[in-house]
Amino acid sequence: MFLYTVIMAAAAVIAGILIAVSAKKAEDVAYTRLDKAGRITNILLLLLYICLAPLYLFLAMIARPRYEGFLGILGWLVSIIMGAAPLSCGLGLGFSAALRKKGKSRLGFAVQFAGVLGIAVNLILFFLFYGNLLRPLN
C-alpha cells in the first residue's frame, strides 16, 4: 500500500494544480465576499491538509488486508479507499478554485471541504477495521 499511497498523493497534487490553473476566468464574473472567504479557507485548508498528511498517509500505508477470500477483497477495498484520501484533498482544492473562476461561489466553497471528508473517512475506516479486516502492525 506504500506505493499506491505515494502515487495517490503525487496525483492529488498534480491534479489539483492542473485543475486550478487550467480553468479560465469567465468574463462576467464578479467576485463576492464568499469568493474572498473561499480563498482564505483554501489556504487554511491547504495548511491543515499538509499538517495532517503524515497521519492520514501513514494510516493508509499500513492498511493491509488481513484475510484471504471475500474478507480479503473487503480489506483491499477498505485499503484502497483509505489510500485515496490525498486525492480528495487535492481535487477538492483544485475544483474549488476552478468553480470560483466560473462564478459558482457556493459550489466552489462547498467542494473545498471534500478533503476534510476524505480524511474523516480515512480515520473512521482505520479505527473501525484495524485488527479486523486490516492487519495489525505486529
Q: What is the pLDDT of residues 75-131, one digit of tens each?
A: 889 889 999 999 999 999 999 999 988 888 899 999 999 999 999 999 999 988 888
Identify the band that residue 24 occupies on the pLDDT scale cut at 50, 70 and 90.
confident
pLDDT higher than threshold 70 for residue 138: no
- CA–CA gap between residue 115 and residue 124 (Å, rounded): 14
- CA–CA gap between residue 47 and residue 55 (Å, rounded): 14
